[in-house]
Amino acid sequence: MSDTTPQPSSPDKEPASEAQAAQNALDNTERAELATEPGQPAPKPEPESSLGRLFLDNLWAANTFTVTLLSLVLAIVVGAVLMIISDPAVLSTYSYITSRPSDAINSSWTLVSEAYANLFKGSVFDPEAFSAWVSGDGGWQAVLAPISETLTYAAPLVFTGLSVALAFRGGLFNIGAQGQAIIGVIMAALAGFLLPLPPGLHLLVAVLAGALGGAIWGFIPGILKARAGAHEVINTIMLNYVATYFLTWLIVQNGVQDPTRTDAISKAVHGSAQLPRLLGDNLRVHAGILLAVLATWAVAWLLNRSTLGFELRAVGANPDAARTAGISVTRTYVLIMVFAGILAGLGGSNMVLGSTASALTPLVAAQIGFDGILVALLGRVKPWGVLLAALLFGALQAGGNRMQSYSGISLELVTVLQALIVIFIAAPALVKAIFQLRAARAARLQTSLAKGW
Amino acid sequence: MEPGEIHALLGENGAGKSTLMNVLYGLYQPDEGEILVDGKPLKLKGSSDAIGAGIGMVHQHFMLVPVFTVAENIMLGAEQTRGGIAGFLDRRRARREVTEVSERYNLRVDPDAVIENLPVGIQQRVEIVKALTRDVDLLILDEPTAVLTPQETEELLTVMRSLKAAGKSIVFITHKLGEVKAIADRITVIRRGRTVGTASPEASRDELAALMVGRNVRLTVDKAPATPGEPVLEVTGLVVDDDRQIRAVDGVDLTVRAGEVLGVAGVQGNGQTELIEAIMGLRPVLAGTVSLAGERIDGWKPKKVLRAGVGYVPEDRSVDGLVKEFSVAENLVLDIYDRPPFGAGLALKPDAIAASAKERIEQFDVRTPSADAAVGTLSGGNQQKVIVARELSRPLKLFIAAQPTRGVDVGSIEFIHSQIVHERDIGTAVMVVSSELDEVIGLADRIAVMYRGRIIGIVGPDTPREEIGLLMAGISPDATAEPGAADGTVTDGGPASADGPANEDRA
């Protein structure tokens, strides 16, 4: 019979070919990696150079830190161009730049330098307030005000950033931090004005209610992914809408809406459920930032030093190998989303239990969930990196307010700056090309940012 | 290279064969040195330059679009259009070219078949046709037989001979000695990026292997006769479906005893993968039972099966065996990370993990810059050693190794085989599944041959390979019970299984 058919066993080959094709695909990437190896030792600098030289060399190599920093610089430069273009008075000086270039240069410099100076003064340190305090004309609060503002804005972003980063490490792209934060806001606020509890306990319950709300909203896409294979990106986006409109609906219901108001605003959270302010009543910074640092530490420990984190990272990097090694991938997916939800929910609690707002409004959660995605990317999905990134974003927000009122630069520019920073970070090759950085090993890691897809 | 010559490039994994060929094909730029074509130095900036210079390459992983037809794939990158500016694709012409080339070189392919429906051997043939339509004089085949069944390999060798007869030169990259001897005119051996010698195909296998790894290696496995004990793994009437809900294992009965190696031979895709995955709890058992030392384990979760004392080397290490981004140390505890001493409660113990990694790396001779290096940066053989080290470093009742030495260099093969035999000698039941017949014959004390989801014969290791080959092809001689008797009657004309240069033309 084998005389008539050219391949006697071809009917059985199909499964083989598929399995083998997969094998091939992997072999090939493996090979590609192997193949690049011989090239790697070459660009290493001469080993005999001094420590300082080595430091500079490494700094200029395209490592994560340098690329991040340069992305910031690039964003600031592009931001400056945008400021100049959007200011008609400055722009008009460019019409006669050939005859009097100094006009254009001076006016541009004044505009840009003042704007960025205000950004700095509003977020980090204001020398005028400091000299006023030294000479006795002003209080110390004014000196700390910029930092206080920065920390206030940063706290919720730390949580949502951690939420996205944690999911990312587990191989899931949690676009739903916004929805989880909104449900967190709702639960925290309801607990804050509906439950008559003693101080201390009330706060604890309200914070935990926020976490629970986020956990529920994370659990849904998690279980759908694990059981039905539904893609978490789509489900979390949809759940964001559900959460947003649920909030809008809930606010105007009897028992929730503030009876003295006609607009969409709920009753205020009781004082006993509010996060204590850290530096007196005049400064907005509250205990949320301490919780945020604690959460960062907890997530870092969870990821790197716990068995659960090991499972999570294994599932994120290679679910097949994790499954073969006995790790339950479905259980891990659900846990990842629940943890991500808890973190985002805590971020939401911060928005209503802190000093940003004390009652529910349709926009009470602002954009913290979506900003969390940017924060996570900027922080390279590492917990402490997320904390730093959130501080940067908080500073941009805080400084942006001052920039708007003092320099007349619209607050949206800050959003543009944030977006630009992340774009440059997401395109490390671009930054490297612009600054002619030497290729470094870190470059390969960066591409993994896109792996969630 | 001479015209009309088959030049084999032989070397261990990671020796630099593929890199060299990628340079030749213009994918990588050389740091030093130059390439001469017809005596003229050649500067290649990309693969299109290489094609222009008459160099074609068939990659180990085929560069085909799975949802396109054969003809579409072949015209890809050199699309012919008609209709002027409208630029309609000239599919008819592409089809004609395919037919023409495949007739000229006797490479049968259907231009209208969709790639993803074709077996791997045919896909490879499409790649070759694709290279030939570009009018190449030099064809580079990068590990072409790694994914082929013995029959397909034989067909490929025939194709190579006919290409040679047509005056094409072929560079044949491989680490399989048998094929090299069967086909090559000249052999260059590469080790660690250097040419270490040239040999003629008359050189013995042992000589070539020694040249490849730089020392003498044993290709046969040294082992004492087995002393089988109690049955450890008992499989009865097992039925399992594959991913596409097609019956893959159809009523398999198996017993593996303590202290013996049961080899499972078979052309890939006859249910071996599914059989093992079902035993490991990775795939649902539809009917039948699996017991480990008398206890039913079907329906258990993989973790429970592993914990019950089963070691498992999966077939595809980069998919199922390792997390490439993880360090060597982390991969060494991938399935025991939560057991003492590596984990206590929710906490990991990095010190214990590092300490045991150091020990294991030493013991299993894993060549890695450090225990913290990502496993993906190691060579295939060392990656495999990491898996073997992980699985063999805990007390086992049953050890299952699927394709334990696929894509592994000769030196590592020797080491892994000796570890497997050692595990048998300390009384573990061992099951080895391999599509390399030599490996199965070398390791096994009994050989079960799988064909279309069934065990169609269990034979001793002294059975002639031709007979096992016939079993693998589904031809079950009546005399399975008395091995050897059926030999003379069916050997000729049957699809021989291995790399013997037999049966040039079966059609």
Whole-angstrom distance, CA of residue A365 vs CA of residue A248: 12
pLDDT 10s digits, B377-406: 888 888 999 999 999 988 999 999 998 887
Query: Which residue in chain B is spatially nearest to A314 when comparing CA positions?
Result: B323
Q: Which residues on chain B are in Cβ contact (under 8 Å) with A305?
A: 347-348, 350
Q: Which residues on chain A are in Cβ contact (under 8 Å) with B152?
A: 7
CB A204 within 8 A of CB A276: no
**Which of B31-35, B102-106, B453-457 has the lowest average pLDDT?**
B31-35
In this structure, the strands spanning B454-459 and B446-451 are: antiparallel
Cβ within 8 Å, pair A323-B507: no
CB B324 within 8 A of CB A323: no
Establish whether the linkage from the previous residue to A101 is cis, with ω within 30° of 0.
no
Q: How many Å lie between the alpha carbon of B19 and the closest alpha carbon of chain A?
A: 5
Cβ within 8 Å, pair B334-A314: yes
Cβ within 8 Å, pair B301-A328: yes
Nearest to B457 by CA among B479, B426, B427: B479
A328 in contact with chain B, both atoms CB, cutoff 8 A:
yes
B316 in contact with chain A, both atoms CB, cutoff 8 A:
yes
Find the helix packing angle between A329-353 and A177-194, rounded to 10°: 50
B338 in contact with chain A, both atoms CB, cutoff 8 A:
yes
CB B405 within 8 A of CB B413: yes
Count of positions (residues) in chain B: 507
The position carrying tokens 């052999």 is: B187
B60 in contact with chain A, both atoms CB, cutoff 8 A:
yes
Whole-angstrom distance, CA of residue A351 vs CA of residue A356: 6
The pLDDT, as a whole number, for residue A21 is 41
Cβ within 8 Å, pair A307-B350: no
Query: Which residue in chain B is spatially nearest to A6 when comparing CA positions?
Result: B507
Q: Which residues contact A108 (CB under 8 A, 6 or more apart)?
A: A80, A84, A90, A93
Whole-angstrom distance, CA of residue B239 vs CA of residue B341: 38
The pLDDT, as a whole number, for residue B386 is 93
End-to-end CA distance of chain A: 49
- Nearest CB to B474; choose among A9, A13, A308: A9
More confidently predicted of B412 and A299: A299
B195 in contact with chain A, both atoms CB, cutoff 8 A:
no
The pLDDT, as a whole number, for residue B303 is 92
Whole-angstrom distance, CA of residue A225 vs CA of residue A236: 11
Task: Give whichever of B129-143, B147-161, B295-309 has the largest mean pLDDT.
Answer: B295-309
Whole-angstrom distance, CA of residue B68 vs CA of residue A271: 66
B330 in contact with chain A, both atoms CB, cutoff 8 A:
yes
The pLDDT, as a whole number, for residue B206 is 72
Find the helix packing angle between A368-378 and A383-402, rounded to 10°: 120
Cβ within 8 Å, pair A6-B318: no
Q: Which residues of B236-256 are buried (b: 16+ CB within 10 A; e: fewer)?
A: eebbbbbeeeeebbbebebbb
What is the residue-wise DSSP string for A377-393? Answer: HHTTT-HHHHHHHHHHH
Q: Give residues 360 to 389 of B whose Cβ lies within 8 Å of A.
A: 376-377, 379-380
Q: How many Å lie between the alpha carbon of B127 and the closest alpha carbon of chain A?
A: 14
What is the residue-wise DSSP string for B40-74? Answer: EEE--SSHHHHHHTTEEEE-SS----TTSBHHHHH
The pLDDT, as a whole number, for residue B69 is 84
Cβ within 8 Å, pair B149-A322: no
Is pTM beyond 0.80? Reply is no
State chain B's mean pLDDT as an integer. Answer: 79
Q: Which residues contact A386 (CB under 8 A, 6 or more apart)?
A: A158, A161, A162, A165, A296, A375, A376, A379
Whole-angstrom distance, CA of residue B380 vs CA of residue A30: 8
Nearest to A392 by CA among A63, A71, A154, A166: A154
Q: Which residues of B1-33 are buried (b: 16+ CB within 10 A; e: fewer)?
A: eeeebbbbbbbbbbbbbbbbbbbbbbbbeeeee
Q: Give the 3-state secondary structure of residue B261.
A: strand
- A118's enclosing H/E stretch is helix A101-123
Cβ within 8 Å, pair A317-B495: no
Q: How many Å lie between the alpha carbon of B216 and the closest alpha carbon of chain A?
A: 25
Q: Give residues 209 to 268 of B whose Cβ lies within 8 Å of A.
A: 242, 244, 246, 248, 267-268
What is the residue-wise DSSP string for A286-330? Answer: BTHHHHHHHHHHHHHHHHHHBHHHHHHHHHHH-HHHHHHTT--HH
- Nearest CB to A31; choose among B18, B28, B303: B18
- Residue spans per domain, chain A: 157-385
Whole-angstrom distance, CA of residue B500 vs CA of residue B507: 18
The pLDDT, as a whole number, for residue B380 is 81
Token pair for B200: 């003629």
Whole-angstrom distance, CA of residue B15 vs CA of residue B18: 8
CB A67 within 8 A of CB A446: yes
User: With left for phi above 0 and alpha for psi between -120 and 50, is residue B48 left, alpha or beta?
Assistant: alpha
The pLDDT, as a whole number, for residue A8 is 40
Identify the band that residue B139 occupies on the pLDDT scale cut at 50, 70 and 90.
confident
The domains of chain B, with CATH numbers, are 6-213 (3.40.50.300), 220-309+395-507 (3.40.50.300), 318-394 (no CATH)
In this structure, the strands spanning B446-451 and B429-433 are: unpaired
pLDDT 10s digits, B51-96: 777 788 887 677 788 888 888 888 776 666 666 666 666 777 778 8
A314 in contact with chain B, both atoms CB, cutoff 8 A:
yes
Identify the band that residue B435 occupies on the pLDDT scale cut at 50, 70 and 90.
confident
The position carrying tokens 């790396």 is: B361
Q: Give the 3-state secondary structure of residue A95.
A: helix
Cβ within 8 Å, pair B334-A448: no
Q: Which residues contact A80 (CB under 8 A, 6 or more apart)?
A: A108, A112, A116
| Residue spans of chain A under pLDDT 50 | 1-48, 440-453
- B253's enclosing H/E stretch is strand B247-257
Q: Which residues on chain A are in Cβ contact (under 8 Å) with B18?
A: 31, 34-35
Q: How many Å lie between the alpha carbon of A3 and the closest alpha carbon of chain B?
A: 6
| Cα radius of gyration rounded to whole Å, chain B | 24
Whole-angstrom distance, CA of residue A308 vs CA of residue A222: 16
Q: Which residues on chain B are in Cβ contact (under 8 Å) with A38?
A: 16, 19, 193
More confidently predicted of B131 and A199: A199
The pLDDT, as a whole number, for residue B262 is 94
Identify the band that residue B16 occupies on the pLDDT scale cut at 50, 70 and 90.
low
Q: How many Å lie between the alpha carbon of B52 and the closest alpha carbon of chain A?
A: 24
Whole-angstrom distance, CA of residue A239 vs CA of residue A218: 9
Q: Which residues on chain A are in Cβ contact (under 8 Å) with B279?
A: none
- Amino acid identity at B280: M
Beta strands in A173-316 (DSSP E): none
Cβ within 8 Å, pair B118-A17: yes
In this structure, the strands spanning B186-191 and B6-11 are: parallel
- Nearest CB to A12; choose among B193, B269, B318: B269
Q: How far is CA A342 from the centre of its chain?
A: 15
- Nearest CB to A314; choose among B155, B326, B377: B326
B193 in contact with chain A, both atoms CB, cutoff 8 A:
yes
Cβ within 8 Å, pair B149-A16: yes
Cβ within 8 Å, pair A321-B322: yes
Query: Which residue in chain B is spatially nearest to A28 when comparing CA positions?
Result: B61
Q: Give residues 4 to 63 of A whose Cβ lies within 8 Å of B.
A: 6-10, 12-17, 19-31, 33-35, 37-39, 42
Token pair for A44: 């290493």
A320 in contact with chain B, both atoms CB, cutoff 8 A:
yes
Distances A399 to A117, A350, A390 between C-alpha atoms, Å: 9, 20, 14
Q: Which residues on chain A are in Cβ contact (under 8 Å) with B320?
A: 320-321, 323-324
Q: Which residues on chain B are in Cβ contact (under 8 Å) with A317?
A: 323-326
Whole-angstrom distance, CA of residue B131 vs CA of residue B144: 14
Q: How many Å lie between the alpha carbon of B198 and the closest alpha carbon of chain A?
A: 23
A106 in contact with chain B, both atoms CB, cutoff 8 A:
no
Q: Which residues on chain B are in Cβ contact (under 8 Å) with A3?
A: 493, 506-507
